Chain A
Amino acid sequence: MKQRRINLFSLTLKKFDFVTAAKKVQFSMIIVLLVLLLTLGLTAVINNYLDQELAAIDKSKKPPAQYFQSNADFDKKIKYFIYKYSLLKDYLKQDAQAYDYFLKLQSHILKVSPGAQIISFTVDNVGQTQFNVRFPNFDEATVFITALETPEFIEPFEYLKLSAFDVASKKVTNFELTIEGKFIK
C-alpha cells in the first residue's frame, strides 16, 4: 500500500491569499509611514524650537559676558582678596588668643575670690588650658574650690579639673591650686 504524504508548505501557499495579505501589510506600512512622517515633522518642530532657544540664549549671553569682560581685572582682584582673606581667617583660627582668655579667666576668678592671683597660665589654640592660682588664706581657697563646681564658674569651660592643691609650698600662708580645663571656643 502506497503511503500518502502531505506537503504542508504547498498546501499553505495554495490556501494563503497573497493579494489580501499583501494589501493588509501595505495598508499597515502606509499607516506606519504616516506616523513616521508625523514624528519627522514633530522633530523638525522641536529642532526649530531648540534652534530658537539657542539663538535667544546666545543673544542673552552677550551683555553679561561683555560686562564680565570689561570687569575682568576687578574680578581678578576680588579673587585675590577672597583667597588671601580666607587664608587670614584660617590662620587666625590657629591662634591661641591667650590675652583674651587670660583676661576672661582673671575676671572670672576675681568674681569668686578677690584675693586670688594667677601665678601661671597656659592656653593653646584649641582652648586647652592650665593655670595656677594662689590664695592668701585657706578659707578663700576652700571658697574657690566650692565655686569651681558651680554652673556659673564652669560656664566658659568645656570642663575643669583640679589637678593639684599645694598647701605647704614655700610659705604656709600661701595656698596654690593647679587647674586644668578647656575653654569653650
Chain B
Amino acid sequence: MNIELKSLKSAAKYKVIYPVIILIIIDIAIIFGILTIGNNLYLKYLNLQDEKDDVSKLRSRVVLVRNNKEIFNGRVDEYNNILTKLIPDEESYFSVISALETLAARTGVTITSYTINLKETTEEKLTLSLSISGESQAITKLLREYMYSSGRLLTNDETSISITEQGNLSISFNFFHKEFKDAVSPATVITEKDIEFINEVSSKL
C-alpha cells in the first residue's frame, strides 16, 4: 500500500498528468451530455413521427368528410331520421304497438294476438310471437313487406308457411333498438351503393 502511494506521489511530480485528467473529465462530461441530448432527440423524433401520423390521419379524415359531404348531398339529417325510425335508441311499448298497427293496416292482415318471446328477447332485440289472420294475398303481402312496412325494422329468424292452413299465420318478429355510441371508426367510407340502399329502404317505409 505504501509502495503504491509512493508511486502515485512520484507520478504526481510529472505535471503532464493534470491536463490528461482534465481532458478525461471533459470527455466524460461530454459523453454524458451527448447521451442526454441523444435521448431527447430520440424522444423528439418519436414525437415527430406521432405528429406526422396525426396529420396524415387528419388529412384522410378531411378527405372523407369532403367525400361524404358530396355523397350525402345535404341529406344526412334525413337519412339519420330514417335510421332512427328503423332502429330507435330506446324501445317503447307505444312504438311497438304503433308499428304493429301500421303493419296490419298496410298489408291488410289482422293481428289477432301477440306475446313477448322472452327466450329470444335480448338487450337490443324485442321478439314478439304473433298470430295473424287474413286473406292469402294479405298474408303474402305481409311476408313480402314486413321488414319496413311497419315503419320499424322487423326481422324474422325463422318462417313456417303452411299452404293448407291458409288464412292463419304464426310468425315471430324482432324489433331492434340500440343507443348511439360514438365509437365509429372515422375511416369508414360511405359509398353511393349505401345511399342507394337507404333510399330504397326509405321508399318502403
The answer to the question of A107 belonging to the interface, with a C-beta cut-off of 8 Å to chain B, is: no
Residue from B33, B45, B180 within 8 A of A80 (CB atoms) = B180
- Chain A residues contacting B194 (CB-CB under 8 Å) are 85
Tell whether, in the assembled complex, residue A102 and residue B37 are in contact, meaning their CB atoms are under 8 Å apart. no
Tell whether, in the assembled complex, residue A61 and residue B147 are in contact, meaning their CB atoms are under 8 Å apart. no
Tell me how far the C-beta of B169 lies from the nearest C-beta in chain A, rounded to whole angstroms.
11
Tell whether, in the assembled complex, residue A88 and residue B87 are in contact, meaning their CB atoms are under 8 Å apart. yes
Tell whether, in the assembled complex, residue A77 and residue B23 are in contact, meaning their CB atoms are under 8 Å apart. no
Provide the bound-state CA to CA distance between A61 and B47, in Å. 14
The answer to the question of A158 belonging to the interface, with a C-beta cut-off of 8 Å to chain B, is: no
**Which residue on A lies nearest to B22, using beta carbons?**
A29
Q: Give how many A-B residue pairs fall within 8 Å (CB-CB).
A: 197
- Chain A residues contacting B178 (CB-CB under 8 Å) are 87
Tell whether, in the assembled complex, residue A121 and residue B55 are in contact, meaning their CB atoms are under 8 Å apart. no
Provide the bound-state CA to CA distance between A75 and B64, in Å. 9
Residue from B59, B153, B159 within 8 A of A88 (CB atoms) = B153
Tell whether, in the assembled complex, residue A78 and residue B68 are in contact, meaning their CB atoms are under 8 Å apart. yes
The 3 closest A-B pairs by CB, nearest first: A98-B159, A29-B23, A84-B83
8 further contact pairs, Cβ within 8 A, besides A64-B61, A98-B143: A23-B16, A29-B27, A32-B27, A40-B37, A61-B55, A74-B69, A98-B161, A119-B163
